[in-house]
Amino acid sequence: MKYKIVGEPMPAVICEVENGETMICESGAMSWMSPNMHMETLGGGVGKVFGRMFSGENLFQNHYTAQGGPGMIAFASSFPGSIRAYEISPSTPIVVQKRAFLASTTGVELSVHFQKKIGAGFFGGEGFIMQKISGSGIAFVEIDGSVIEYNLAPGQQMLIDTGYLAMMDATVQLDIQQVKGVKNVLLGGESLFNTLVTGPGRIVIQTMPISNFAGAISACLPSKS
């Protein structure tokens, strides 16, 4: 499979696949394709179906396979931002925010990822449940806004405002830290909790979480009388 990512800030990934090669995506992610791409909707078992439901994805996935020769299929982002391709292997799974998975080659598995610490789950910005992408292949991930990437050394930490953490290696630990000081909490204009990540591993920060964008838009809308 060959691919190219085009069109930021409303990006799409265009994939060129060989005869018999299959791409997997979430329902509604396909934007355009050659006529010889055959679609099949699959659930993958009860456990996987409910895992996707808890992690914010659709219950079923679409499988597109080129038949009778090479094919082409494109997947577009649902929000202004970025699409990134990640090489997934059994030793390098990643954890992403809910609804971040866009598409992948076969061999990549999407499952639910529960935070080990309850506090991190409820106050860490992306909820108790995130998505784990594992297996083997290439996964395409949606990121809100632009991408800022850091590689944390063992024990190195970073504080991130709620909702800005888009992706992390599975080796990174996540916890929450309450903002200190009553005046800071009441007057600082920031979240009550920040996300604390601890290396080793890579983290990806997004510059415009969709929740922040929605809040900015709603503040400009006229209130109902």
The Cα–Cα gap between 188 and 197 comes to: 22
Residue 223 belongs to some domain of the structure = no
- What would the two tokens of residue 145 be? 């806004």
Residue 11 belongs to some domain of the structure = yes
- What would the two tokens of residue 152 be? 């944390």
Beta-bridge partners for 197: 158, 174
Residue 187, pLDDT score: 45
Residue 221 belongs to some domain of the structure = no
Residue 224 belongs to some domain of the structure = no
Residue 168 belongs to some domain of the structure = yes
Residue 158, pLDDT score: 95
Residue 184, pLDDT score: 45
Residue 222 belongs to some domain of the structure = no
Check whether the bond before 9 is cis (ω within 30° of 0): yes
The Cα–Cα gap between 225 and 119 comes to: 38
Q: Which residues of the chain have pLDDT under 70?
A: 43-59, 114-128, 179-192, 211-221, 223-225
Residue 183, pLDDT score: 45
Structural domain range at position 162 = 2-216
Residue 150, pLDDT score: 98
- Three-state DSSP class for 191? coil
The Cα–Cα gap between 121 and 75 comes to: 30
Q: What is the pTM of this model?
A: 0.82
Residues 6+ apart with CB under 8 A from 32: 73, 74
Residue 82 belongs to some domain of the structure = yes
Residue 143, pLDDT score: 94
172-200 confidence digits (pLDDT tens): 998 887 766 544 444 444 556 788 999 99
User: Cα–chain-centroid distance for residue 119?
Assistant: 21
The Cα–Cα gap between 52 and 48 comes to: 6
Residue 163, pLDDT score: 85
Residue 125, pLDDT score: 47
Residue 175, pLDDT score: 85
Contact, 193 vs 176, CB < 8 A? yes
User: Number of structural domains, the chain?
Assistant: 1
CATH code of the domain covering residue 101? 3.60.160.10
Residue 225 belongs to some domain of the structure = no
